[in-house]
Amino acid sequence: MFRPWMLLVLLFLSQTVCAIGWPHFFAARATTTTSATLPDLYEASVVELQAGLDAGQFTSVDLIKAYFARIDEVNLKGPQLRAVLEMNPSALAQAAELDKERKLTGKRSMLHGIPILLKDNIGTVASEGMNTTAGSFSLLGSVVPEDAGVVKNLRKAGAIILGKANLSEWAHFRGNIASGWSGRGGQCTNAYFPHADPCGSSSGSGVAASIGLVAVTLGSETDGSITCPSSNNNLVGIKPTVGLTSRAGVVPISDHQDTVGPIVRSVADAAAVLSVIAGKDPNDNFTLAQPSPVPDFTKALNPNALKGKRIGVPRKVFLNDSISGNDPFVNVAFEAALDTIRGLGATVVDPADLPSAEEIAVSNNETFVLDVDFKIQLNAYFAALLKNPSGVRTLAELIAFDNANPALEEPLQFQDQSQLIEAEATTGMNASYFQSLADDKDLGATRGIDAALKEFNLDALILPAPGLTTVPAAIAGYPIVTVPLGFYPENVTIALAGPQTVYPAPGVPFGLSFLGTAFSEFDLIGFAFAYEQKTQTRLARKAFLEAIPKTQLKDILASN
Ligand SMILES: *[C@@H]1O[C@H](CO)[C@@H](O)[C@H](O)[C@H]1NC(C)=O
Ligand SMILES: *[C@@H]1O[C@H](CO)[C@@H](O)[C@H](O)[C@H]1NC(C)=O
Ligand SMILES: *[C@@H]1O[C@H](CO)[C@@H](O)[C@H](O)[C@H]1NC(C)=O
Ligand SMILES: *[C@@H]1O[C@H](CO)[C@@H](O)[C@H](O)[C@H]1NC(C)=O
Ligand SMILES: *[C@@H]1O[C@H](CO)[C@@H](O)[C@H](O)[C@H]1NC(C)=O
Ligand SMILES: *[C@@H]1O[C@H](CO)[C@@H](O)[C@H](O)[C@H]1NC(C)=O
Ligand SMILES: CC(=O)N[C@H]1CO[C@H](CO)[C@@H](O)[C@@H]1O
């Protein structure tokens, strides 16, 4: 399917490419100058940052200044990655308070004084100075009743909200629009190849984490929105079981599938963040069903975790999926990963198919449930706002707002809102809805993931992260932990992903997903950690040179 704009985009891309120079894009392992003792912010882990803060090498104020400067270098300037929508005007003052507290009484948690970037659908109180908009102008200036549940946990733990990340608008529930685009943020792009698809919908969280624009980030997933940006940006993502982390205060798609989780550079950081954000929240009754207490997920970080385990490969989930199943590059890396897992002492059961795989591939139940839920839950979200200057109070008014503001919300090539229109046409929770909801549980869990785990006596399932491999876990509400798997080679054929984005492209990363039953995060984190420690794939390649920010802590300390 060729459209005239594709030619324009190709011309634009080839010009950009020539202007910057091909060789730079492929520079694996560009060197960033760092002082021997200070952590390199491109890769710095929570443990490293915490050690530097505890030792008094630098303060949280220094960290905030450094990350702000790094964002400034690449967000709208240089490669214009458009990963960050807003920076928190209160962050420096909050950091100063937390620095003082650390000196007086020590740190509250592993996240004390650690800057974190939130996907822009995660609510923060307006008094702090930031908007919560899911990327849409229809929510600009809106005032949420309170912080999201996960944000309350983060603040209690002493974390500092650095800002809000760009995303696929409405968490990619608007229509056929390229991943990473929002009305407010424009097109977010990948740091591994100019204009490459960052995937989504947690696009800005992924891109920001990939090059150290912040210590850690949060994303949300309904179907693929943590897994895919983790995959495309060489990162670790945890899509928690629905009900492990609170969705209260998060702009919704569906409470049956939405879940909030970390997108970070290592399994250890992911475990640290999940330990803080997980837990019961009276404002999200799905969380009341989770086992107590919340585990300390950092205790799962065992390099021998795969020894003696049985890991299954549900091949039918990706066999027919043209996005991942037919991709020779991903498949070669995936087969190598299976060898690595065998080498780590696990038995690989291959195939270990989901009995429901063929039915999932043709089912429309998920779309129907999400459409019905989105209309009800988004309307409730609008209704609960204390203020919304746009005047939008319902999904119907949102559709009208977009049409009335084409320059903001429907620029050329980003007009589509077919998903909003499809959801608006639903008529509430009727018998077909409850049937589809039950069918989804049956397909995803009972005759899906749980059936395969039981039939083959497995500890977990493993799949390539790209493509539609997230669907069974999405409709079951089950967890996925994604780690880096590999990178597209230099000679891969570059294809268009959207009007301004390409995929695949040389050097663009892809990931590996571990899946399990409800609340199996502790085990999955262990397996992902063992694989990560053995392979260290993330460190094999860096972003293209222009996308690597230069500011380091030493620059901030020198100007203090
Ligand atoms: C929201 O965005 C607007 C426009 O960029 C800005 O003026 C305002 O300070 C932001 N914050 C709040 C809480 O409205
Ligand atoms: C949560 O509360 C809603 C409305 O009160 C109810 O319909 C739903 O069944 C509850 N869900 C759970 C998981 O308890
Ligand atoms: C894959 O495609 C084949 C041939 O079209 C079909 O028979 C099979 O059911 C499909 N499997 C899945 C899991 O969709
Ligand atoms: C839902 O799934 C069931 C079981 O596979 C199937 O029979 C039914 O046709 C599906 N419904 C829709 C709307 O796709
Ligand atoms: C339920 O509502 C949908 C539209 O949302 C409609 O297509 C379907 O026919 C309805 N089912 C029943 C049993 O009324
Ligand atoms: C890419 O290069 C590899 C080896 O470097 C080669 O095996 C492969 O055939 C090439 N692929 C294409 C599409 O040119
Ligand atoms: C922090 C930042 O750079 N935000 C920008 C995000 O993108 C929008 C649209 O281009 C800008 O207006 C913001 O300044």
- The ranges assigned to domains in the chain are 49-304+468-559, 368-424
pLDDT of residue 442: 98
Question: Measured from the CB, is residue 328 less than 6 Å from ligand 6?
Answer: no
Which of 372, 395, 433 for a ligand 5 pocket mutation test, highest count of atoms within 8 Å of Cβ? 433
- The H or E element containing residue 310 is strand 310-312
Which of 247, 283, 285, 287 for a ligand 2 pocket mutation test, highest count of atoms within 8 Å of Cβ? 285
Q: Residue 232 corresponds to which tokens in the numbers above?
A: 């495309």
Average pLDDT across the chain, whole number: 93
Question: Measured from the CB, is residue 141 less than 6 Å from ligand 1?
Answer: yes
Question: Measured from the CB, is residue 87 less than 6 Å from ligand 1?
Answer: no
Contact 340, 534 (CB under 8 A): yes
* CA of residue 429 to ligand 2 center, whole Å: 14
User: Which-ligand-closest: CA of 141?
Assistant: 1
Least confident segment among 210-219, 312-321, 419-428:
312-321
168, 179, 182, 201: which is the annotated catalytic residue? 201
Provide CATH code, domain 49-304+468-559: 3.90.1300.10
Alpha carbon distance 5, 100 (integer Å): 55
Classify each residue of 386-420 as buried b or exposed e, where b means 16 or more C-beta atoms within 10 Å of its C-beta: eebebebeebebbbebbeeeeeebbeebbeebebb
pLDDT of residue 10: 37
Atom nearest to 362 CA in ligand 3:
14
Which of 360, 364, 372, 435 for a ligand 4 pocket mutation test, highest count of atoms within 8 Å of Cβ? 364
Greatest Cα pair distance in the chain: 66
Pairing, β 216-221 against β 115-119: parallel
Cβ < 6 A, ligand 7 pocket: 75-76, 82, 84-87, 185-186
Give the residue from 92, 246, 98 showing the smallest Cα distance to 158.
Answer: 98
User: Is 225 one of the catalytic residues?
Assistant: yes
User: Is 201 one of the catalytic residues?
Assistant: yes
Residue nearest to atom 3 of ligand 3 (CA): 320
- pLDDT band at residue 324 under the 50/70/90 scheme: low
pLDDT of residue 4: 32
Average pLDDT over residues 399-416: 98
Does 11 have pLDDT greater than 80?
no
Query: Does the model's pTM come out above 0.85?
Result: yes
Does 371 have pLDDT greater than 70?
yes
Residue nearest to atom 1 of ligand 7 (CA): 86
Atom nearest to 361 CA in ligand 3:
14
Would you tell me how many other CB atoms lie within 10 Å of the CB of residue 143? 14
Residue nearest to atom 7 of ligand 5 (CA): 426
Give residue-wise pLDDT tens across range 73-112.
Answer: 999 999 999 999 999 999 999 999 999 999 999 999 999 9
Alpha carbon distance 410, 500 (integer Å): 15
Least confident segment among 72-76, 165-169, 322-326, 459-463:
322-326
Tally helices (H) and strands (E) across the chain: 22, 15
Alpha carbon distance 159, 150 (integer Å): 11
Q: What are phi and psi of 509, to 5 degrees?
A: -75, 160
Classify each residue of 96-113 as buried b or exposed e, where b means 16 or more C-beta atoms within 10 Å of its C-beta: eebbebbeeeebbbbbbb
User: Which-ligand-closest: CA of 374?
Assistant: 5
Atom nearest to 289 CA in ligand 2:
13
- The H or E element containing residue 341 is helix 328-343
User: Which-ligand-closest: CA of 144?
Assistant: 1
Give residue-wise pLDDT tens across range 270-294.
Answer: 999 999 999 999 999 999 999 999 9
Residue nearest to atom 1 of ligand 6 (CA): 491
pLDDT of residue 87: 98
65, 119, 316, 542: which is the annotated catalytic residue? 119
Average pLDDT over residues 465-494: 96
User: Which-ligand-closest: CA of 163?
Assistant: 7
- pLDDT band at residue 321 under the 50/70/90 scheme: confident
Does 16 have pLDDT greater than 70?
no
Q: Residue 86 corresponds to which tokens in the numbers above?
A: 């807003």
60, 202, 220, 225: which is the annotated catalytic residue? 225
Alpha carbon distance 384, 238 (integer Å): 29
Question: Measured from the CB, is residue 432 less than 6 Å from ligand 5?
Answer: yes
- pLDDT band at residue 343 under the 50/70/90 scheme: very high
- Burial class of residue 126, CB neighbours in 10 A (0-12, 13-18, 19+): middle
User: Which-ligand-closest: CA of 72?
Assistant: 7
Question: Measured from the CB, is residue 129 less than 6 Å from ligand 1?
Answer: yes
Question: Measured from the CB, is residue 119 less than 6 Å from ligand 3?
Answer: no
- pLDDT band at residue 9 under the 50/70/90 scheme: very low
Give the residue from 244, 193, 190, 192 showing the smallest Cα distance to 221.
Answer: 244
List of E strands, 398-536:
460-464, 480-487, 496-498, 501-502, 509-515
Does 17 have pLDDT greater than 70?
no
Question: Measured from the CB, is residue 130 less than 6 Å from ligand 1?
Answer: yes
Alpha carbon distance 195, 197 (integer Å): 7
Alpha carbon distance 10, 522 (integer Å): 45
pLDDT of residue 23: 32
Contact 305, 246 (CB under 8 A): no
Residue nearest to atom 3 of ligand 4 (CA): 439
